[in-house]
């Protein structure tokens, strides 16, 4: 049973784009929080 040929650019990538945007946003905020914690620790030497 032959399947139709794959054509580049035909796939709907809306969900992948939303997921990636969420991942980037989460990563950005995680890095900001980690840097804030490190600054707090450096300033107050806890």
Instruction: Give the Cα separation of 43 and 46 in Å (integer).
Output: 8
- Measuring CA to CA, which residue among 11, 10, 28 is closest to residue 20? 28
pLDDT at 1 over 90: no
Structure tokens that stand for 22 in this block: 């969420």
Give me the half-sphere count of Cα atoms (radius 13 Å) on the Cβ side of residue 20: 5
Per-residue pLDDT of 2-30, as tens digits, reads 677 878 878 888 999 999 999 999 999 99
The beta strands (E) that lie in 1-46 are given as none
What integer pLDDT is reported at residue 5 of this predicted model? 81
* CA 38 distance to own-chain centroid: 22
Structure tokens that stand for 40 in this block: 């707090």
What integer pLDDT is reported at residue 46 of this predicted model? 58
What integer pLDDT is reported at residue 6 of this predicted model? 77
**More confident: 45 or 1:** 45
């Amino acid at each position: 049973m032959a399947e139709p040929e794959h054509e580049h650019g035909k796939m709907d990538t809306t969900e992948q784009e939303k997921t990636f945007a969420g991942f980037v946003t989460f990563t950005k905020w995680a890095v900001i929080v980690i840097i804030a914690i490190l600054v707090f620790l450096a300033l107050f030497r806890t």
